[in-house]
Structures are given as structure tokens and as C-alpha cells.
Amino acid sequence: MPESRNSRLTRPETLTAVGIIVVAAGFLVPTYDLRAISALLPAAMLIGLIVLSVFLLLADQRKASAGEDAAPMTTSPKRVIGAFLMIVSYALACDFVGFYISTAVTIPLVAWTFGYRSPVGLLIATVIVVGTIWAIFDFGMSQDFPTGRLWGR
Amino acid sequence: MKTPLTALALALTATAAFAEYPDKPVEVVVGYSAGGGTDVMARTVAQFLEQELGDGASVVVKNIPGAGGQIGFTEVSEAAPDGYTLGTFNLPAALALTKDRAADYDVDSFTYLANFVEDPNTITVAATSPFQTLDELIDAAEADPGAITLGLSSLGGNDHFAANMMQDASGAEFTLVPFKGASNARTAIMGGHVAAGTMTLGQTSNFPDDLRVLAVLADERSPFRPDVPTAKELGYDVQMSSLRGIVAPAGLDEATTDRLRAALSAVNENPDFQAMMAEQGNPIAFMVGDDFAETASKQDGIAARIWAETPWK
Amino acid sequence: MYSDLLHALPDVFAWTNFAAVVIGVIAGIVVGAMPGLSATMAISVLVPFTFGLEPLVALGLMAGIYNGAMYGGAIPAVLLRIPGTPAAVATTFDGYPMAQKGEGGFALQVAVVSSSIGGIASAFALMLLAPPLSKVTLLFGPSEVFWVAVFGLASIIFLLGGNPIKGLISACFGVFVSVIGSDPIYGNDRFTFGQLEMLDGINIVILLVGLYALPPVIDLLETPLKTDGVNSSKLGTEPIWKALPRMNYWKTWLRGSFLGIWIGILPGAGGSMAAFMSYNEARRTSKHPETWGEGEPEGVAAAEVANNADTASALIPALTLGIPGTAVAAVMLGGLLVHGLQPGPMLFRDNPDIVFGFMWQFLFGAILLVLLGGSLATNSFARLLNLPRPLLGSVIIVLMLIGVYSIHGRMFDVYLMLGFGAIGWVMDRLKFPLPPVVLGLILGGFAEENLRLALRIGRGDPMVLFQNTTSLILVALTAAVVVGPTLKKRFIDSRKKA
């Protein structure tokens, strides 16, 4: 049985191709403000991306009409989204709250959430990682990490 | 009501507040990566400034590279004017880039403390070049306008302004070729890929056998190369150079300003400092306070004029 | 000058100077082995710190780190398919399949021996041939460098993978990213959206960490209980002297060293390009090219010999002309300048003990690599990477942040890296090949810059690109090596069909 119209459009490759076309077209807009010679290479690449994505789209739709199922991007979308969210929040936390606090919280939190539940192991790992980073970067090289924008400078 | 005791306390805190500067590390922001000419100057100055400020003062260099120094210059201009954030300042680059792109600072955003280095631009050709004198080069450029290529390090810097002013003074037309950085321009000259260049004298100094300096774009001959004539002597009144100094954010209070200016002057007078700078090939042109501010506003004017006459982007 | 070389030797053996090299090599291997940390980042953190050190101690540390990191990058490339440094991308092609087949230990041994050979060859080139090779660099003006970049870009066709459309999309994406920042001639902003942080372009490390390290981290967290792939018991380690006779890659080593040295002395191309080209060439001339990409040890050898062979040679133009051959050499040049050591012929005359001592340190760094890398890597690092997967994932996240943040000391780069990471994850899942992105980023803007400089020099006449012998040789080489085999294959294919 052929796929429904809806699922044909939500095939990952089709979505990606459409995404590339939209973004590349969006990036084409600022090239009009550039000198011709400055715009040449970026415009060529963007047009290349659009044309290639059209081919990709057609090829994927042809597969769809042939009844070929698209492989899903992931079998556990919750975990993937969760992982991405945690990584982004870690970066934001470093920026706003400070590197050392965020790191000391993030390592056990991420490892625990995703299935490593040994408290002793978590503690040891966190202490070793944070301690080593501090010893090498802060103590050894006087390299500053973000101290947190929330607390001012 | 003021009791003698509170008055005493006030007086104590007042003197303490004054005497205590600096009571935490003083940061010198460098708008370039560690290891560049400006960075090395900043580190050298920082080392001697620590001694001059005394009392175990600590002066640390902080590199905030990016956007041709603009991120660092902006950082300094926006810092609290409390004497704990200083910055290196490169002329004309720092002010030139306020002309050709949006910048959050201008010539008035800084307290000018002291300038240390002035490295004059030159007209330089490869040692194998057929041009023996500046006049020969300019004659060739006049004979076929645009045939003589000049290698520079990016548009909107002192190399570019030097080339521009040289064109104005001589009436000759050059083809300007902006490389990424002075070393690339120098290599292209040595390899014969461009005919000549306007790099600074300091950038020629380690290549005495490979480069021929035709003229120095300064008022007077350089003590490093007294054999090279100035462009002025040859009939072209052109001066351009790269300057490196130390600034603080605008609005720094007078006491701290004076303290820092005095300390930096003392740094300059230290023979060890002079020796170290000479070893690094940094020609010192010490200017303190108002002289430095005046030079900055003059450079600002030159950049504004060139941008108005021949915008480069 | 050879007497200067000998004269510099005793200083190198002063114990602090020698210890610096040893520490540097170890630190380099560690940094390279940590996904997210790169040699560029390590040396840029180190440079300001070395201001107070003796020059030979500082330079020894840097020489050691550079050599160590170029090999260390192979460790996660083999075990996790995360190249530890940009130059280790080509190592993943065969290294990771080898690890999956249970030959990870042998892959690492091939990597360490090849790295060391490449490093030694490069150090000799630096010691014995620096002045003549710098004359070769002078031959390469904008039009010649443009052709080198074209040569590199054309070799992308070997890296397209199974689906050429996806491969080309990757390549276009890479080249597009390379033009972000200020225009090479006029300085106008291109696609920076007013962000000053983007004006200098996208640093390769930021893109690489995002594209290559984030997707495996997501994998680690997505399927926490999977235990295949990384497993020290399956590494199949045997003592290195027993493994040595199995490595009969002399031709590949020779070719890779030559290519690495040659690409190193050309300004700007560096690192990953050498490894890619060496890999392509070794595969092209292999008797059984079909095994490549599926765990061919010679592929690891080809990539690793070349990425170490351009380390010292990249310093030839850096020391003699002030133009570094790789991104790491550029940061190292900063390390020299911090000590007031200005590049140029005068450097060799004024400070021969330091310059030639530095060269010796490169040689010893490369030799030490086998001794330190052999035992250290296979035994301890492989085991570290065998941590519980969620824990490993969370530690790599921290390392990625540190590695990217420390390059310029700003969070902006971290966010940028995360953006590339999201793109990388989609690309990974939909099987878009990543190497064309890397090569496109390295060479795209580089080709454009040099083309436009050449055209400016030629006052707009494109004939300037064909006016000298070096350019013509490069054009012919590109045609012979890159286009030739493709056309030949087409021709044979069409005859078969007919």
C-alpha cells in the first residue's frame, strides 16, 4: 500500500531537502547587497545547494512512490531531543551561571539521566574531571572560563 | 554631626582608597591573539608596569582577538573607567575601522595614556627588483598607470593609507593588492608576485638581503636604517606609520590617569625596558597624555578623509 | 649552517629543555586523544603562559604538543570515529572500521608508527632543507596557490561517498561556510549578521567539533547500553615489536611524507589536506582499492604519516618568511614572537641555537612519539574511552565546550559549534558524507582569496592564472590525478554498457 500523502512529505530526506532550499534561498537575499565579485562564490554555492536539494527531493519522492519506506532518523526521539536540550542548557548555564558550577552539575546529571546510576562512580568521575580541568587550565595555565553573566563581571 | 572619630575614619578610607590602587589585578586587553607585535609589546609593558605601580601590583594581559582588533577595542571602551581595565591601541587601525563599518566606539571613547611604538611605513621592493630608487618606481607607474602592483596587508590599515597618500603625492596610479597580513604581502614581494609594497620598516628588518627599502614615510630618517632616505627628502611629503600605545576607557578619574601616565613614563625611562623593546625590533616613539590624544585625533582625521575620498569597500 | 645545527645540540639535551619535549609529547597525545580538544587550542592556551619561560623550554613544549596531538587525534578517530584534531579526519575512514572489526589496537599501532615516521621525515626536511624549501614557497604566488587549492578541492570527488548528490551538497555547504566573514579583498561583511565574532570566518575547529563530536555524543546517550565498538578487550593489542613486521607500507609512508612536507611548505593549506591527499593517492595506487574504507590498515598509515609530515615542514615558511603552513603552525609562530623571535633569515643568524635547537626538538618529539605513544595510547586511553557510555558522553560534552571556548575565550563560538552539531547530527543520520564539508571549508575561501588576488595582480585578465610554469604544472597535475581517473572510469563504464 502506498504511503499517505502526509507521510510522503514528512520523510526525513524530503524535509531536509526542503529545509536546505528554504535556508539557502534565505541566504541568497543578502548577496544582492554585495559587489558582484564578492557575491559570486557564495551565490554559486547557494544555488548549487538549491539545485542539488531539488534532485535529492525528487529522488526521495521517487523512492516514496516506489513504496520504499524511509528509515526513521532515530528510534528514540525523546532521548535525542533530551540530549540536545541538555547540551544546550549546559552551554547556557556556563554562560550565565558559570563554568565550574554548571560542569559539576551537568556531568552527573547527564550521565544519571541517560542510564549510569552509580552514585560513587558519578561522584568520582565528576571530581576527577572538574578537578583535572581546574588544575590544568585554571591553576596551571591561568585560563579563565566563563564566570557567569548573571553575577556581573 | 561629624565626630572627630568619623572624620578620622573618613580620612583614613579616603587615603586608603587612593593608596590602594591597584588593589586587584589590572587587565591590559589586547585585541589580537597572543604572540603578535602588539601582544608582545603589551606583555613587555605589563611586566615593567607592575614594578612601577609597586606594592605587589599585578598587571595581566588578556587577549580578546577578533575582527581586526575591534572586539578588544570595544571591550576597553565599554569597560568601567576605574583603572583596572586598560587596553592596547593601534593607530590608525583602531580608528580606521570605525569609518568603514559599524563600531561602538570612536576617538572620544578612550583616555589616552601613552604611546610606545611608532613604526613608519616604507616603499619597499625585492632585492632583485629592477627599481633602484623611488623615482624609478614612480616613473614606471606613471608610464603605464596601474602596471605597478603594491602589496599591502588588507585595506583600511596603515599600509593602505600609505599607498593612498603616496598616489596622491606623486600623481602615479598603482594597483593595490591587499593580502591577508603583512607577512603574506612581504612574501609576495620577495617572490616577485607584486612589484612593491608599503610595509612598515619593522617588517623589513629581518630580511636585509631580500628586500630593498626605497624610502621611509616619516619626517626624519630612521635610526634603524639611516641609509634610507625619507619620502619627504625625495619630494613626496608623505608620512604614515603604525602606532601602538596604551589607553583606558574614557572618563577615567584624574588621579588614576595621572598615576598611570606617570607609571608608564617611568616604564619608558627604564633602560631595561628600552633594551627589551630594541631587542624585539620595536622602534620607540614615546608620547604621553595629550600628545598621544592629539596624534589619535589627527590619525582619525586622515582615516576619515581617505574614507570620504576613496572608500575602499 | 650544518655546523650551527650541531652546535645547537647540547642545549637541547639540557634537562629542562628535554623534559619540555617529553612533557609536550605526552600532553599533546592527551589533548589530541580528547574529543573536542585540539592542538590549535592547546598551543593557543600555552602561548601566553610561555612568556615567562626560557625559549627552548617553551618551544620544546610546543614542538612536543604538535607532534603528540597529530598522533593523539587518531585515538578517538579510531575508537569513536571522532577525529581528535582536524587532521585526523582521514584517519577515521579506515581506523574506525578496523576498531569495529576488533583491530583497534593494531590501527593505533599503525597510526603511532606512521605518525612518527612522518614526523621524523618532516623534522629532517626542516633541519636540512629549510632555506632551499623556503625558496620553493616563494615560487607560489596567488595564482599558483589558487591552483593548489583547486587541486585539493577537485580531490573532493574521491570523498563523495555512495551518493554523489549528498556528497556535493556537503561540499557546497563547506565552501559556503568558508566564505562567511569579511570579504578577502574589500573587507565587506558576508553573512555575519553584524556579529563581530564571525568577521574572521568560521574557525575549522569549531565546525569540526560540532560536526564530528556532537553526533557520536548523541549516539552515546541515545543507546546507552550498546557495548560493541569500543571495547578494550577487543582492541587486540600485542606488543608493538610484534606488530611492526605486519606494517609493510614503505611506499605509502614515502609518498605520504613527501606529500605532507610539500603541502606543509605551502602557506595556508596544511593539516587535513595533506592527510586527505595522501589517503587518496595511496588508495588510487593500491592493488586492492575495494578494501579501502572498510578497515584497510594502509589507509590509517597513509593519513597518519601525512598529517605528521606537515608539522615541522609547516614551520619552514613560518620561520623563514613569517607565513605559517598550517593553523597550528600559525599559533606556534605566536609562541616564537612572544620570545621576540622574529621570523626571517636574520632569525637563523641571530639566534641559531634557538632555531636549530627547536628543529632538534621536533625530531626528538617525533622519535619519542613511538616510545610514549605506543604504550600510553593503546593501554590507557583505549580503556578511558571504555567508560560507561552515558558517562563518556557527558565528559565529552564538557571537553567540547572547553576545546571550543578556549580558542578565542568566548561563548559565541560554543553556540556556533552547537549549531553545527545539530546540522552534523542530521547529516550523520541521513548519511551525508562529512569530509567534503571539512575540505570545502579549508579550501573554498582560500581558493577564492587567491583567485581574486591573482586577478587583481593581473588587472582583471584571467590569463594571469596560466602565465607561468608552476601554474601550468599544477593544472596538468590536477587533470592527471583527479580528473583523469574519473574520465577513465566513465569511459570504461560506458564501453561496458555499450
Reduced to 3 states, what is the DSSP secondary structure of residue C458?
coil
Structural domain boundaries in chain B = 24-119+241-309, 122-216
Digit-coded pLDDT (tens) for B188-199: 999 999 999 999
Report d(CA B277, CA B283) in Å as an integer: 7
pLDDT at C400: 94
Contacts of residue C433 in chain A, CB cutoff 8 Å? Answer: none
Mean pLDDT of chain C: 87
Q: What is the pLDDT of residue C234?
A: 52
Count of residues in chain A: 153
CB contact under 8 A, B187 and C138: yes
Has residue B15 got a pLDDT over 60? no
Cell of C275: 592527510
How many angstroms separate the CA of residue B44 from the nearest CA in chain C?
A: 9
Of C453, C459, A36, give the one whose Cα is nearest residue B177: C453
- C-alpha count within 13 angstroms, C-beta hemisphere, residue B83: 20
Q: Tell me the nearest-neighbour CA distance from A151 into chain C, angstroms.
A: 16
**C30 Cα distance to chain centroid:** 16
What was the pLDDT predicted at B242?
93
Would you say residue C490 lies in a domain? no
Residues 6+ apart with CB under 8 A from B60: A142, B25, B26, B27, B28, B46
Q: Given a cut of 70, is residue C352 above it in pLDDT?
A: yes
How many residues are listed for chain B in this entry? 313
β-strand partners of B241: B120
List the one residue out of C321, C334, C208, C345 whose CA is nearest residue C267: C321
Among the partner residues C51, C200, C340, nearest to B279 by beta-carbon distance: C340
Question: Per-residue pLDDT averaged across C209-232, rounded?
Answer: 76
Check if the beta carbon of residue C284 is closer than 8 Å to that of residue C485.
Answer: yes
Give the class (CATH, top level) of B24-119+241-309: alpha beta
Across the interface, of C49, C221, C418, the residue whose CB is closest to A141 is C49
Q: Do A141 and C172 touch (CB under 8 A)?
A: no
pLDDT at B100: 84
Looking up cell 578517538 gives C76
- What was the pLDDT predicted at B13? 46
Q: Which of B28, B32, B33, B129 to mutate to test the interface with C (most CBs of C within 10 A)?
A: B33
pLDDT in tens, C55-73: 999 999 999 999 999 888 9
What DSSP character marks residue B217?
A: -
Q: Which residue from C minimizes the CA distance to A143?
A: C45
Condensed to tens digits (0 to 9), the pLDDT of residues C130-171 reads 888 888 889 888 999 999 889 888 888 888 877 899 999 999
DSSP C430: T
C118, three cell numbers: 612522518
pLDDT in tens, B36-68: 889 989 999 999 999 998 878 889 999 888 888
Residue of C250, C203, C237, C261 whose CA lies nearest to C78: C237
Q: How far is B161 from chain C (nearest CA, A)?
A: 14
Q: How many residues does chain C have?
A: 498
> Does residue C498 sit within a domain?
no
C493: contact with A, CB 8 A cutoff = no
Q: Identify all chain A residues contacting C186, using CB atoms and an 8 Å cutoff.
A: 35, 38
- Whether the CB of B35 is below 8 Å from some CB of chain C: the reply is yes
Rg from Cα positions in chain C: 22
User: Which among C45, C391, C414 is the nearest to A125, CB-wise?
Assistant: C391
* DSSP letter assigned to residue B158: H
Nearest chain B Cα distance for residue C476, angstroms: 21
User: pLDDT over 90 for what percent of chain C?
Assistant: 39
Domain B122-216: top CATH class: alpha beta
Enumerate residues 6+ apart whose C-beta is below 8 A from C197: B66, B67, B71, C408, C410, C412, C413, C416
Q: Does B183 touch chain C (CB under 8 A)?
A: yes
Region C332-353: what's the mean pLDDT? 86
Structure confidence at residue C57 (pLDDT): 94
Q: Are C59 and C358 in contact (CB under 8 A)?
A: yes
Q: Which three cell numbers stand for residue C251?
A: 611506499
> What are the grid coordinates assigned to B143, written together?
608610464
Q: Which residue of C has its CA nearest to B279?
A: C340
Closest chain C residue to B188 measured between Cα atoms? Answer: C141
CB–CB contact A90 C401 (8 Å): yes
Which chains does A contact via 3+ CB–CB distances below 8 A? C
Q: Which residues of B touch C184 (CB under 8 A)?
A: 180
Please check whether residue C426 lies inside any domain of the structure.
yes
Nearest CA in chain A to C165: A52
Residue C188 to residue A38, Cβ atoms within 8 A: yes
Q: How far apart are CA A134 and CA A128, in angstroms?
A: 10
Q: Are A145 and C255 in contact (CB under 8 A)?
A: no
Quickly list H helices, C430-498. Answer: 435-457, 469-478, 484-497
| β pairing state of B122-126 and C181-182 | unpaired
- At residue B1, the pLDDT reads 40
pLDDT in tens, A77-131: 899 999 999 999 999 999 999 999 999 999 999 999 998 888 999 999 999 999 9
- Element counts in chain B: helices (H) and strands (E): 11, 11
Of B94, B84, B81, the C-alpha closest to B32 is B94
Backbone dihedral angles phi then psi of residue B61, each to the nearest 5 degrees: -90, 135
Is residue C12 assigned to a domain?
yes
pLDDT at C388: 86
In DSSP terms, B120 is beta-bridged to: B241
Alpha-carbon distances, residue C315 vs A10, B103, C264, C320, C409 (angstroms)? 51, 36, 8, 8, 25
Nearest neighbour of B35 by CB, restricted to C186, C337, C453: C337
Residue A20 in this model has a pLDDT that exceeds 80: yes
> Could you tell me if C370 and C243 are in contact, meaning their C-beta atoms sit under 8 angstroms apart?
no
Q: Are strands B26-30 and B85-91 parallel, antiparallel or unpaired?
A: parallel
Cell numbers representing residue C11 in the block: 642545549
| Among B residues 228-267, those touching chain C with beta carbons less than 8 Å apart | none
- Chain B residue with the nearest C-alpha to that of C349: B206
Burial class (CB in 10 A: 0-12, 13-18, 19+), C468: middle
Q: Residue B58 phi/psi, 5° resolution?
A: -125, 130
> C89 with C212: CB under 8 angstroms?
yes
C-chain residue closest to A149, CA distance: C411
Q: Which subunits count as partners of chain C given 3+ CB pairs below 8 Å?
A: A, B
Residues of chain C contacting residue A111, judged by C-beta atoms under 8 Å apart: 388, 390-391, 393-394
- pLDDT range class, residue B3, cuts 50, 70, 90: very low
Q: How far is A120 from chain C (nearest CA, A)?
A: 13
Cell of C193: 549578521
pLDDT for C378 equals 63
d(CA A42, CA A101): 42
Contact flag C317-B71 (C-beta cutoff 8 Å): no
State the DSSP code for B150. E
Taking contacts as CB-CB distances below 8 angstroms, the residues of chain A near C391 are: 107, 111, 116, 121-122, 125
For the purposes of burial, counting CB atoms within 10 Å of the CB of B224, is it exposed (0-12), middle (13-18) or buried (19 or more)?
A: middle
Instruction: Name the residue facing B71 among C137, C196, C323 (closest C-beta).
Output: C196
Smallest Cβ–Cβ distance between B191 and the set C139, C186, C347 belongs to: C139
Tell if the CB–CB gap between B187 and C323 is shorter than 8 Å. Answer: yes
pLDDT of B213 = 96
Of C439, C165, C144, the closest CA to residue C277 belongs to C439
Chains that touch B (3 or more CB pairs under 8 A): C
Which residues between 399 and 428 in chain C have a beta carbon less than 8 angstroms from any beta carbon of chain A? 401-402, 405-406, 409, 411, 414-415, 418, 421-422, 425-426
- Are B43 and C337 a contacting pair at CB < 8 A? no
The answer to which of A102-111, C260-269, C399-408, C415-424 has the lowest mean pLDDT is C260-269
Average the pLDDT over C199-221 and give the result: 90
Best C135, C186, C471 residue to mutate vs chain B (most B CBs within 10 Å) = C186
- pLDDT for position C233: 46
Residue A86 dihedral angles phi and psi, to the nearest 5°: -65, -40
Chain C CB contacts of B280 below 8 Å: 340, 342
Cα–Cα dist A90/A105, whole Å: 9
Read off φ and ψ for residue C65, nearest 5 degrees. Answer: -60, -45
Round the average pLDDT of chain B to a whole number and report it.
89
Question: Which of the pair, B192 or C376, is modelled with greater confidence?
Answer: B192
Q: How many Cα atoms sit within 13 Å of A40 on the Cβ side? A: 11
- The pLDDT of residue A27 is 94
Tell me the C-alpha distance between A57 and A8, whole Å.
Answer: 11
Nearest CA among C294, C311, C316 for reference residue C103: C294
Q: Which domain holds residue C71?
A: 2-467
**Which residues 163-182 of chain B have a CB within 8 Å of chain C?**
175-181
**Mean local confidence (pLDDT), B224-229:** 92
Contacts of C394 in chain A (CB under 8 A): 106-111, 114
C402: confidence class by pLDDT, cuts 50, 70, 90:
very high
Cβ contact, residue pair C344, B207, below 8 Å: yes
Bridge pairing between strands B122-126 and B284-288: unpaired
